[in-house]
Amino acid sequence: MQRLIKITILIIFFFILGVFFISLNKDTAYNTKTLVGKKITKINLEYFNEKKFYQNEDLKKNNFTLINFWASWCAPCRDEHPLLVELSKEKNLKLLGVNYKDKKKQAKIFLNDLGNPYHFLAKDEFGKQSVNYGIYGIPESILINNELIVVKKFIGPLSFEDLKSIIKIIN
Amino acid sequence: MKFKFILIIFILNFTFLHGVEKIVNQNTIHKNLRCLVCQGQSIADSNSDFAQTIKLVVKDLIEDGKTEDEIYSFMADKYGEWIVFKPQVNKHNFMLWFLPYLALILGGIIIMLVIKKKKNL
């Protein structure tokens, strides 16, 4: 009997130790990188200038598409913009800019000042569409292939390293 | 006459209950979703930009006829299990759900055995 109790206590002790060991070695910083490898099922983004919508078929034509959520009021978006301009020169990649919760006039001024790197320009006036892409703050970018599968997700402004990794993936 | 009266009461009652259920669902869902950009707040407690967006999307999903569980699944699919305060049982977290019961049963057995042994002494 005493032995059974001792064994049970030992098992519980090692179990707790194991749980702590695994949990403390885990990266607890939240991210939505779990979306990588998943297919975007329904693309329905409104054109920036027209009452038309970008659908799945529009993006399937491209080898790779980088969906970039941005706004004129977002300071880090300004920082990453030159990198997007650089990426727009890549042959295998098309850029879809989604103007997020922004004023049309301000967005136009932003693009006039810094250049328009986007091959496709859409808007998400109330941010509802952003949920479909797991966006929880901007800027965020999602690299998808022609099967609409998420290849990589970039949370926050793109860095020079991100630029290099995108070029490596698409080539 | 009596039948018509009962029918009207029934329809009114159903409409009222249905309306209440909708409000309750929406609030419950907001409370069960975590605000990812806040410190330990639910969507219901937060006024952040993210929370406002999620509230709009939840409203749309309810209007589309989605059930509470379907909405949680949708959100978990987009943002991971972390967004749901009460995650669904799956192969990664089943221990979390069943271990307390297992510990309770095991503890009960041990206590029972100890008592039995003491009685035999």
A4 to chain B: nearest residue by CA? B110
DSSP letters for B17-82: HHHHHHHHHHHHHHHHBB-TTSSS-BTTT--SHHHHHHHHHHHHHHHTT--HHHHHHHHHHHH-GG
One domain for residues B36 and B95: no
Q: Quote the domain boundaries for residue B24.
A: 2-88
Question: 10 Å Cβ neighbour count for A127?
Answer: 21
Mean pLDDT computed over A33-57: 89
Task: Say whether residue B36 is in contact with chain A using an 8 A CB cutoff.
Answer: yes
Active site residues of A: 74, 77
Overall domain count for chain B = 2
B102 part of contact set with chain A, CB < 8 Å: no
**Amino acid at site B86:** K
Q: What percent of chain A has pLDDT over 90?
A: 71
| Same domain, yes or no: B75 and B96 | no
Does residue B79 belong to the interface with chain A, where contact is any CB pair within 8 Å?
Answer: yes
**Cβ <8 Å between B56 and A130:** no
Q: Are residues B54 and B107 in the same domain?
A: no
Stated pTM of the model: 0.76
Same domain, B84 and B121: no
The pLDDT of residue A46:
94
Residues B82 and B111 both lie in one domain = no
B45 and B95 share one domain:
no
Interface touch A134/B79, C-beta < 8 Å: yes
CB of B106 less than 8 A from some CB of A: yes
Q: What is the ipTM of this complex?
A: 0.79
Binary contact (A127, B110; C-beta < 8 A):
no
Please list every residue in chain A whose beta carbon sits closer than 8 Å to the beta carbon of residue B113: 1, 4
pLDDT in tens, B11-46: 656 555 555 555 557 899 999 999 998 888 999 999
